[in-house]
Amino acid sequence: MAEHEFFGDAETRFLQELSRHDVAFMIVGLSAAALQGAPVVTQDVDLWFRELPNPGLEEVLRELHGVYVPPTMATPPMIGGEGIELFDLVTRMDGLESFDDELSRTVPLRLGRFVVRILSLERIIASKREANREKDRLVLRVLEDALATIRAREEGSDEGNDGEKDHPG
């Protein structure tokens, strides 16, 4: 399967439409870490919304012929549709402050013509530490080393020529 099929035009358009509708959300979890340069793997892209259900999200889903599936006693809220299956909805983040507090600490990431907010590597690490599941413990060392590497590279860049940063963190 071609690599672009895992995050192609449809997925980018979904995020772009959310951004265009001023829906308050951020990309969190390992997908946010990967976007910032951490060498991790992930199976989906976790999105944290200020509120669920969310009128803006539902409007975007209608435009893209997607659906919002409300939570039940046994299942979390979900979204579906072409180019949307890759995204999971997150309703709570361990070890973090409120959505708005965390939103103010996010880093902007330009994807083509629009910008999305992503949880910083520092806050992803804080969340993983707090969650402390086996899968979190397994990835913590990689995330911490990635953060230290990014900081070291930025410091080297600041001491060198133009100080231009390579990632949004």
Partner 1 sequence: MTMKLSHSKIDALCQTQGRNVSQLLDEAGVSRNSYYSLARKEVVVPRSVLKLSAALDVPVSALLDDILPVGERMRRRQRAVESIVADHPDLDRDNVRHTLTLLDEDPLTRIRRALRRGRARILR
Residues near partner 1 (CB under 8 A): 1, 3-4, 6-7, 12, 30-31, 34-45, 86, 109-111, 141-142, 145-146, 148-150, 152-153, 156, 159-162, 164, 166-167
Phi and psi, residue 22, nearest 5°? 55, 35
Smaller CB separation from partner 1, 68 or 87: 87
* Least CB distance to partner 1 at residue 169 (A): 10
* Least CB distance to partner 1 at residue 108 (A): 11
Smaller CB separation from partner 1, 116 or 126: 116
Phi and psi, residue 96, nearest 5°? -115, 165
Q: Please, what sign has the CA dihedral across residues 56, 60, 61, 63?
A: positive
* Least CB distance to partner 1 at residue 27 (A): 9
* Least CB distance to partner 1 at residue 134 (A): 16
Smaller CB separation from partner 1, 28 or 45: 45
CA distance 147 to 24: 26
Nearest one of 66, 137, 130 to 92, comparing CA atoms? 130
Smaller CB separation from partner 1, 12 or 19: 12
* Least CB distance to partner 1 at residue 59 (A): 25
Smaller CB separation from partner 1, 44 or 51: 44
Helix (H, G, I), strand (E, B) or coil at 117: strand
Q: What is the DSSP string of 26-71?
A: EEEHHHHHHHTT-----SSEEEEESSSS-HHHHHHHHHTT-EEE--
